[in-house]
Homo-oligomer: A and B are copies of this chain.
């Protein structure tokens, strides 16, 4: 069980609400203050937050008096030991925010950004003490998905990283620390690499959007829920492990890589140049899926995570 924490959330879009739900649900003592400059904040939170909280995990009675809506940034952060921002995704907003937060926050508070691309080194450039700022990038929605990519900046201290890991692990989450700041961090780099290939194969008419998704849910999805790609191919190599796998299958792997490169170029799978393939792909998605029932997806995903972890229920 988590220690008692007070978390200030800056920004209450879908990620902010999902994080609020996560903090409140997974710890029964922690408190959350929300700061957002939208004028209807009270009505908005009252209407939308309950959709993120499973009543079987956390009753409204249990969480409703642990949230405060802060009238100012100062009020939000002054008592917090964790300040977590999910504001607009632009450098100007974030680089201005942190020196302000620093003015009002406790000297031992941790600062986390949910950004999907603006590094802590960049975000913290106007701060006095850069040691406690880091990226904590969720995989959406964070109240369902366990991954948190922890990406320290150049000045982030090991102590701040350790406290961050301890917090997330106490909530049963999976924080993973990246060793270097890089474009897109790791999860999106991996997902988008596969997505580019998916776009290319649809552009070439090898497969439809729907059939490609069917391939994923019947193969790599379940496999990678239980064992990631390295562990999977290492197992595939038998006693010789990954080395043996690459010695046997490496030629095929390389042929696929080379075919992919050629096709990506031929079919201009490039967001800037790629209107033709994009329109075709958009249309197929719209025709096939319309409005996706994300509640059903999330309920199934929770069960998948339990099954992959070997939990009984």
Contact = CB atoms under 8 A, between A and B. Distances in A.
B214 A174 contact: yes
Nearest to A299: B310
Interface residues of A, number: 105
Given A194-B190, A195-B253, A226-B300, A231 B292 contact: yes
A182 B259 contact: yes
Nearest to A149: B215
A230 B186 contact: no
Contacts of A201: 182, 186, 189-190
Interface of A is mostly: helix
Contacts of A310: 296, 300
A180 interface: yes
Contact of A285 (B193, B224, B230, B256): B230
A308 B254 contact: no
Contacts of A253: 192, 195-196, 271
A235 B186 contact: no
A303 B300 CA distance: 12
Contact of A307 (B178, B254, B255, B300): B300
A157 to B, nearest CB: 20
A197 interface: yes
Contacts of A257: 192-193, 196, 270-271
B236 A140 contact: yes
Given A194-B194, A224-B224, A227-B292, 6 more contacts: A145-B223, A192-B257, A212-B228, A230-B285, A230-B289, A242-B281
Nearest 7 Cβ contacts at the A-B interface = A213-B228, A221-B224, A303-B307, A235-B292, A221-B225, A193-B197, A183-B259
